[in-house]
Structure 1
């Protein structure tokens, strides 16, 4: 896919109906030869719309109007480029726990959670958040994770987690204001509810930090998994991570995780997971597939806002 097509697809499939500002920017960049030429000088993995838009937000640039965005990017590219080369889209959306919860709660308890691509580890606490699936409420306190669930076997209790660890090439620290600022910049402009949710989740995690290890998804996974307590069900999970991993490494990861004891929970696009024979998604918007041990179970939205069960 060309860079222009990548931005157009992002605008039409991911941002449409979710972020008007990012939809405008993405469609404008797709036709902006000057900005596209700057992006083409970066490695392919660094040309992502989310990465560009988030870096501009982090630096205080405008992300509401395409013309102002264009002028800012062109004028400030010497500051933008190094940020894009050194950063990753590490969106750490705790709302994704709402789509993971029905699977996690149904597994043999207690759980030892190991998240691949953990960022700051906010998704390692599905037992601590409160959930609202329409009229179905689970847990208490803040933040409350809202999710529209269709055909889902909703649990009546949260999972019991006795060990939690994360693996990431660049773990983020919620006690570091600079890392929290990057997590904030990754949230789309209109999503004030997600920003409030980030603050509440970060405060909770800072009071009881998980084990976060800097490492590779393949090379360093076995050693970390071996630290999980033997009397708990090991669950290796990830959300919107594998698209950043080159395809041969994805295959190596899948083979490795299938050989570990316990279970594998994936929440990724169907293209990344290589799923065939799926039912039609609920809408034309981009959906992830929630899968347990390689078996597809449901369609999910990227920030955990919706879950449509078909498994």
Structure 2
């Protein structure tokens, strides 16, 4: 896929109906030869729309008007390019906890949670948030995460989590102002509800910081998984992570995680999990899988989970 095609795909399948500002920007970038030439100077993973738009927002650039956005990127390319190269789309969207909760609550309790691609580890606290599934409330504290749930009854109670840890190439410290600013910059401009939830989740994590290990997901996983407490059900999970992992490393991870005790819970794009189909509405959706078995179509930010 060319850079232009990637931006068209983002506009059509991800931003459409969710972020008018990003949809407009992505369509304009796709037809802008000068901007595309600049983007093609950086490695392919660093050209993605979410990353570019997040970097511009981090640098206090405009995203509401394309002319102003274009001028900012070109004039400030000396600042934009190094940020693209050093940053990654570490969107720590806690709304995804609403997708995982029905499965987590149904597993043998208590749980030991190990998140791969953990960012700042905010999805390691599913037991500290509240949920609204079609008007049914689960939980009584923390930010409320709304989710349209089909094909599955909302869980009767929150899971019991006795251990939580994560792995990331560049784990973020939720108490660090720069890391916190990057997480906020990754939230799409119209999504004030997500921004408020991030801030509430940040307070929870700052009061009880997760154990985050810096390193490669394949190299670090065995030792960290082995440190989970005996008697707890180990759940290795990740959401919208593997698309950023090279295919050979991804294959090694899948083989490794399948050999571990406990369960493997993932929400990734259908092409990542080997599902040769897409939702009927044409929008981008992830597939929620347990131990490699597809369970549901899920919204990337956690707004819906439609079980098969």
* TM-score > 0.5 by shorter chain: yes
Q: Deviations over 1:126-166 (max 9, x none)?
A: 11100001121001123000001112232100110000001
- The equivalences for 1:39-54 within 5 A come to 39-54=39-54
Q: Which residue of 2 aligns with 1:301?
A: 299
Maintained 8 Å contact 1:30/1:36:
yes
Give the count of matched residue pairs: 308
Moved more, 222-231 or 113-122: 222-231
Give the CA deviation at 1:65. Answer: 1.3
Q: Which residue of 2 aligns with 1:289?
A: 287
Give the CA deviation at 1:68. Answer: 1.0
Give the CA deviation at 1:282. Answer: 5.2
CA distance in 1, matches of 2:9, 2:65: 19
For the residue of structure 2 that corresponds to 1:219, the secondary structure is helix
TM-score (norm 1): 0.98
Maintained 8 Å contact 1:282/1:308:
no
For the residue of structure 2 that corresponds to 1:220, the secondary structure is helix
Structure 2: tracts of 5 or more residues without a match: none
Give the CA deviation at 1:274. Answer: 1.1
Q: Which residue of 2 aligns with 1:221?
A: 221
Give the CA deviation at 1:220. Answer: 1.0
Give the CA deviation at 1:15. Answer: 0.3
Q: What RMSD in Å do the two structures reach over aligned CA positions?
A: 0.8
CA distance in 1, matches of 2:35, 2:111: 47
CA distance in 2, matches of 1:203, 1:61: 27
Q: Deviations over 1:14-36 (max 9, x none)?
A: 00000000000000000000110
Structure 1: tracts of 5 or more residues without a match: none
Give the CA deviation at 1:69. Answer: 0.8
Q: Which residue of 2 aligns with 1:81?
A: 81
Q: Which residue of 2 aligns with 1:116?
A: 116
Q: Which residue of 2 aligns with 1:154?
A: 154
CA distance in 2, matches of 1:166, 1:283: 34
Q: Deviations over 1:271-307 (max 9, x none)?
A: 011124x5x5252210000000000000000000011
Give the CA deviation at 1:230. Answer: 1.4
For the residue of structure 2 that corresponds to 1:255, the secondary structure is helix
Q: Which residue of 1 aligns with 2:272?
A: 272
Maintained 8 Å contact 1:234/1:262:
yes
For the residue of structure 1 that corresponds to 2:128, the secondary structure is coil
Is the counterpart of residue 92 in structure 1 residue 73 in structure 2? no
Maintained 8 Å contact 1:109/1:233:
yes
For the residue of structure 2 that corresponds to 1:165, the secondary structure is strand
Q: Which residue of 2 aligns with 1:185?
A: 185
CA distance in 1, matches of 2:103, 2:192: 28
CA distance in 2, matches of 1:299, 1:131: 18
